[in-house]
Amino acid sequence: MARVTAGAAPDTEALSAFADIVGSAHVLTENETTAGYCIDWTGRFSGQSPAVVRPRTTQEVSELLRVCVEHGVHVVPQGGNTGLVGGSVPLHGEVVMSLRRMTTIDAVDPLSHQVTVEAGATLADLHTTAAQAGLAFGVDLAARDSCTIGGMVATNAGGIHVLRHGSMRQQIVGLETVLSDGRVLRHLAGLHKDNTGYDLDRLMCGSEGTLGVITRVRVQLVPALGHIATAMIGLDDVAEAVGLLAHLRQTVPSLLAAEAIMASAMDVVRHCQGLEPPVPASALWLLVEAASSTTDPVDELAEGLMSWRDDLDVAVATDGPGSERLWRFRETITESISQLGVPHKLDVTLPAATLAAFNAAVGDVIAERAPDARTVVFGHLGDGNLHVNVLGAVDDDDIDGAVLKLVADHGGSISAEHGIGTAKSAWLHLSRTTAELATFRALRAALDPAGILNPHVLAP
Ligand code: FAD
Ligand code: MLT
Ligand code: ZN
């Protein structure tokens, strides 16, 4: 049952308490300064906020939350505001707490290969720090210049290297989180073996700002993979791509990424970027990358591909610029779609066994309900993760209901990596049982009894 009550607007006393804590320069109340925090990256979700507060320290986060509880003010935690499910913007007049000033990245520990990062540091900055230490961070995604480590933990972000390194949940070895009553959960020792009760760090991961505000994250870094080989393969059948991928997993231990660009997505890239793929295909282009810290993986990748079928259409790159040229087809899809309109995004996972059948059906399911809409599909094939994008005027509930029901009927999950946000909360029952949803709400009530943290997100 929904437990959301209306949030109060911060009164003069609360606004002045905010200013005492962070300084008046970091309490934004004018429309022209708050506007950018109130609309999401796609332009699909927008609202208004009476105040954007910008803490610099964990202590300030804690004090701000105490004031919010005292005044019944609802809060939307925000990082880089690149989330794609309407969870990072104030759709119901909430205060926005932006973590973007908390950007410190500590020195990399040379013995454990771990580093502690403040929540507002960007993914790109963490990549740079790791590279300077001769290491790498295991998660990468196209929003790297803007998305923050705190936001990535809050959404359990995935991206292009999940098949090798896992998602954010697998990189975390410690977390610092502030509960809504201001208490700080600090667990940053980074011990790999620590069987001392509940795993609160991983509970926070994927909680989308509903259980606490993440302020610091300790992550495990991975070896830098300096030798790479990238291949783009043109295919005429999605089922063949799924089979080829299973074969590559078995034969290419250095496999790092496996991404699918369906014909509908390549059309968008052709149109918006003026790029022409190096090999022909009628159904999809599979972009695969192998990488190693010690040896050149090109022979292993070539043998893996040849042993599947020796007449595949393949373009290969073995140096940085060549690889970047191939990745441009994949990395520019999201921005190209947005050039054509405000997209309706459905990020889903399918089991390998039903992915091709789902892909064959989803276009018709959308066309039946919105004949003028354009459906664009691509995704992280290595994880069974498809991104279904719908452009044009659509009835959101009708399309969501139909596509997400189709996902559930094919044994999939209604969210692979973007989370639930406000966009999918009405459909969460398709992937989670009544008992699970009741447990979600019990956890929420225990950790945020005043119900002030992102109350409309996930399972309200
Ligand atoms: P925000 O958008 O600010 O917030 C996201 C959610 O986390 C909100 O619910 C918010 O309340 C909460 N939150 C933010 N910071 C905190 C905090 N410190 N404490 C508690 N809660 C917090 N996602 C993928 O998984 N894989 C991809 O490949 C991928 N590619 C993308 C490409 C593009 C071009 C874009 C625009 C987005 C992409 N995304 C992808 C989505 C997005 O980048 C991720 O969801 C990312 O993790 C969001 O980080 P953020 O800092 O922008 O969070
Ligand atoms: C991606 O994989 O590029 C992202 O998740 C962004 C999107 O879905 O558009
Ligand atoms: Zn993605």
User: Does 1 score more than 60 pLDDT?
Assistant: no
Confidence at residue 397, expressed as pLDDT on a 0 to 100 scale: 84
Is residue 87 within 8 Å of 209, Cβ to Cβ? yes
Is residue 283 within 8 Å of 238, Cβ to Cβ? yes
Confidence at residue 393, expressed as pLDDT on a 0 to 100 scale: 78
Identify the residue whose C-alpha is closest to ligand 2 atom 8. Answer: 387
User: Does 2 score more than 70 pLDDT?
Assistant: no
CA distance linking residue 429 with residue 42, whole number of Å: 25
How far from 216 is each of 14, 57, 119, 324, 390, CA to CA, in Å?
A: 26, 10, 5, 32, 36
Say if ligand 2 is within 6 A of residue 332 CB.
no
E strand segments, 207-264:
213-220, 222-223, 227-235, 255-262
User: Does 174 score more than 80 pLDDT?
Assistant: yes
CA distance linking residue 359 with residue 342, whole number of Å: 22
pLDDT tens digits for range 29-55: 999 999 999 999 999 999 999 999 999
Which two structure tokens, joined as six digits, stand for 201? Answer: 């760090």
Confidence at residue 460, expressed as pLDDT on a 0 to 100 scale: 87
DSSP 382: G
Centroid of ligand 1 to alpha carbon of 119 (angstroms): 12
Task: Give the mean model confidence (pLDDT) for residues 325-349.
Answer: 97
Confidence at residue 139, expressed as pLDDT on a 0 to 100 scale: 98
Local confidence band at 395 (pLDDT 50, 70, 90 cut-offs): confident
Say if ligand 1 is within 6 A of residue 457 CB.
yes
165 or 7, greater pLDDT: 165
E strand segments, 154-304:
172-178, 184-187, 213-220, 222-223, 227-235, 255-262, 284-292
Q: Which domains does the chain have, with CATH numbers?
A: 12-101+441-447 (3.30.43.10), 114-223 (3.30.465.10), 227-334 (3.30.70.2190), 341-418 (3.30.70.2740)
Task: Give the mean model confidence (pLDDT) for residues 379-384.
Answer: 97
Say if ligand 2 is within 6 A of residue 345 CB.
yes
Centroid of ligand 3 to alpha carbon of 239 (angstroms): 20
Q: Given the CA of residue 335, which atom of ligand 1 is nearest to it?
A: 34
Confidence at residue 3, expressed as pLDDT on a 0 to 100 scale: 58
Q: Which of 280, 387, 283 is nearest to 338 (CA)?
A: 387
Element (H, E) at 53: strand 52-53
Confidence at residue 394, expressed as pLDDT on a 0 to 100 scale: 80
pLDDT tens digits for range 237-249: 999 999 999 999 9
Which two structure tokens, joined as six digits, stand for 43? Answer: 């332009």
- pTM here is 0.98
Task: Give the mean model confidence (pLDDT) for residues 137-155.
Answer: 98
Say if ligand 1 is within 6 A of residue 83 CB.
yes
Which two structure tokens, joined as six digits, stand for 161? Answer: 């290297």
Residue of 42, 78, 175, 272 to test ligand 1 pocket, by largest number of atoms within 8 Å of CB: 78
User: Does 326 score more than 80 pLDDT?
Assistant: yes
Identify the residue whose C-alpha is closest to ligand 1 atom 34. Answer: 143
Say if ligand 1 is within 6 A of residue 152 CB.
yes
Q: Given the CA of residue 149, which atom of ligand 1 is nearest to it?
A: 51
Radius of gyration from C-alpha coordinates of the chain: 22
Task: Give the mean model confidence (pLDDT) for residues 73-98.
Answer: 98
Local confidence band at 231 (pLDDT 50, 70, 90 cut-offs): very high
Is residue 431 within 8 Å of 350, Cβ to Cβ? no
Element (H, E) at 66: helix 58-71
